[in-house]
Amino acid sequence: MSAAAVRAAKQALRREIRRRVSALSEEEKRRQSAVLSLKLFKHPKYVSSQRIAVFLSMHDEVHTEEIIRAVFKEGKSCFIPRYESSSSHMDMLQLRSLEDMRALPLTSWNIRQPADDDHSREEALSAGGLDLILMPGLGFDRSGNRLGRGKGFYDTYLERCIRHPRGKPYTIALAFKEQLCEEIPVDANDVLIDEVLYEEDH
C-alpha cells in the first residue's frame, strides 16, 4: 500500500469508527468503561506497575477517572499527557491527586492538562521512566495496531521511551467494542501496542 493509500484508508476508517462510537449512549460508555477498569485492576502488568501514564479521557474514549482514582489509592505514581498543539511533541507529567487533576486548565480540545508554563512537575522520562502506558486511540485491531487521531503524539513518545535506559513500558489500549476493527492500516511510524483491553462477547 502506498503512503497516500494508507492515509486515505485511515481517514475513511476514522470516519467509520467516529460514527459507531457517537451512536453509543453515555450509559453504555460508562458501563463498558467500568468493565474495562475492573479488567485492568486484575491485570498482572497493572498490579506490578508503580509508574503509570493515563490519558484523561475525551467524550468518545473509555472513561479513565476510576483508573486514576485507583492509581492514587494504591500509592502508585500517575503521569498524564501534556500535548503541544503546534507539534507532535508530548510529555508525561506527574499528577499529584484527584484535586490536582480537577484544577488543571482546559485546552482548546477540551482536555485538562498542565499549563505550558507549569515547570514544577516531574516528566516521567527525566526520572525513573514508566512501567505502563494506557493508550487512547480511535480504533484498534486484535494484533495491537492502533489508529490514532493523526497527530503522532504517542508514536513519537514511545520512540523516546525506547531510548530511555528503562526501555519501552508495557502498553495497554482501552477500547470500546465499537472501536475494534478487523485490520488497521499502518505505516512505518506506527508503534504496535502490547495488548488491547475490550469487553469480550461471551
CA distance 22 to 135: 20
Query: What is the residue type of 178?
Result: E
Separation between Cα atoms, residue 31 and residue 14, nearest integer Å? 23
Could you tell me the mean pLDDT of each successive run of 10 residues in the chain, 202 residues long?
A: 87 94 97 97 98 94 96 97 87 95 86 87 92 96 91 90 90 97 86 93 68
Q: Are 50 and 76 in contact (CB under 8 A)?
A: yes
pLDDT of residue 187: 80
pTM listed for this prediction:
0.93
Query: What are the pLDDT digits (tens) for 23-81?
Result: 999 999 999 999 999 999 999 999 999 999 999 998 899 999 999 999 999 999 999 99
